[in-house]
Structure 1
Amino acid sequence: MPAPKQTLTGILCLSAGIAVFSVQDLILKLISGDYPLHQAMLLRSVTAFPMLLLIVRWMDGSLTGLVSPTWPLMLMRGLLNFSAYTAYYLALAALPMATTVALYFTAPLLIVVMSVVFLRETVSPVRWLAVLAGFGGVLLMVRPGGTLFDWAAVLPVFCGAAYAGSMILARVMGTRDSAAAMAFWGNVAFLACAAVLALIWGRGTAAEGVHPSLAFLIRPWVWPAFADFALMSLCGVIAAVGLTLLTHAYRIAQSSVVAPFEFTFAFWGILWGWLFWGDLPDALGWLGIAVIIGAGIYVLRAEPAPDTSA
């Protein structure tokens, strides 16, 4: 079992990674009406490579860890992540940011379930209560079956399942491979998949009059304005740092412990949605947010205090 100090480090890395990635979500939401997703993903992946090489060199001391016998498994994990984020960003083009974030929050619940089934982790009643309470808060925010429902709401739920699988793999592979190496191979998968999508749809498919999520997928390649090019390139830096932080969190700490802190994404989704689009939850939505935050605080206080004598 990880030491309390490792657990706290994992929680802090996860929370920081979530905050970093929320900026990428904001950028892709802003450009989703003008550019195709594959263009943003391709530019992001190309920009991320030099940053990831620097991170690997800094964290691992050399680049030799990239040539690992487990690289196919790291690549497979990257494909899972690509599936997860593609589904999430397609949903982001059609749904309010807060709603998309809320639906994605099936991921922490699935991570805890998978940690029990595949990793044989012991989950205390406190952790189950925190995750279930957080999921209940999500249901309060979204109220599935009501007027808020859109078929695109299925996409972030799929994202949650794929993301959960990728983070369970990070825990399994953590004893052999570094977080930086896993993030590097994940970016290789992103680049390859984005290039395939660009080859399929980049030359131009009519995207007018279709659902916003589908339009974001099939819209033709557009030469970006400098400001938009800079934003898409910035996503590469964000992805390199964010993926490394998230992977490191699940690599060093128990999945069932850090998973409830995925719910901190709710804060960023609400903040960006309010600042840029004026989207605010209603009374039940705020109650759901309070439940989510309370669940995270509860599990943090219930964990053993870190050993600061080391």
Structure 2
Amino acid sequence: MNSKLFSPLTIKNVTLNNRIVMSPMCMYSCEKEDGMVTPWHFTHYVSRAVGGVGLIIQEATAVTPQGRISQRDLGIWDDVHIEGLKKLTNEIKENGAVPGIQLGHAGRKAEIEGDIIAPSAIAFNEHSKVPNEMSVAQIQETIQAFKTAAERAKEAGYEVIELHGAHGYLINQFLSPLCNQRQDEYGGNATNRYRFLQEIIEAVKPVWNGPLFVRVSANEYHQDGLTADDYITYCTLMKEQGVDLIDVSSGGVVQARINIYPGYQVPLSEKIKHGSDIPTGAVGLITSGLQAEEIIQSERADLVFIARALLRDPYWPRSAAEELRVSIESPVQYERGWR
């Protein structure tokens, strides 16, 4: 079979061996609540590189201590993190994959000790802390934190950066009218709600010349929330700013019932790809090689982001290749078992 899934793709100055991406998934595995890489992270990520993934995007990595989802999240808020992250990226590259990192800030969804911050003082749910509304000074400090994190990511050897603008975390909180009720220059209308992300992109671009992705939640599953049509506008603006690809997910801004089925978010990716004329990644219950191939062949997305399927099978690309009857290169050490 002439597989497009297993064909290379060049994005800006980086070439991926195939269109398979390990989707960022938090491991909550830092041992001392210091954000440092642990042996677990080496085992987890490098095994997927050995398994044939084209691009590995590291879990949401906090740009400030206050921005962690949990106190066991990886961090990139201090230069002390660079050494461990650099060792990790080196091992990923040595085993054939491109290392990427998702930079994030949890905002009102942070489950940490002390105060948390958000665009508005609205808790995520009745069990969550009420965040402090961010001052303009805090907003500017956070934008600077994303810029500094991008500089550290470059020094640590990452080749792709993804900004986490989905799943109800801080960037998403600014974008959404459900949790941004500000009336200053960072709220009140769609243009102002976009300003926080706009200024993060503006801050990151001068220090980062590699591919820049943004993950979005293109459906908030609420009558007053954002939809893919709203994100066509936002993603067009991101393209104008130099964003290279939109990683299209959904949900997480508020608690909502979601009708989940195989590939349920793929139509959102397809709509944004063609509506904003920008490359996209599709994610969400993509579990088989045939399914992934159809998404790429039909131009519904440019990359497929595999999540839980890669937790179950670190060698999912090999399984997909077998299903598609495609021959792929195996690690020399595994040739006896792979052929």
TM superposition score normalised by structure 1: 0.27
Give the number of the structure with larger relative contact order, counting CA–CA contacts within 8 Å between residues 6 or more apart: 1
TM superposition score normalised by structure 2: 0.26
The structure richer in strand per residue is 2
The structure richer in helix per residue is 1
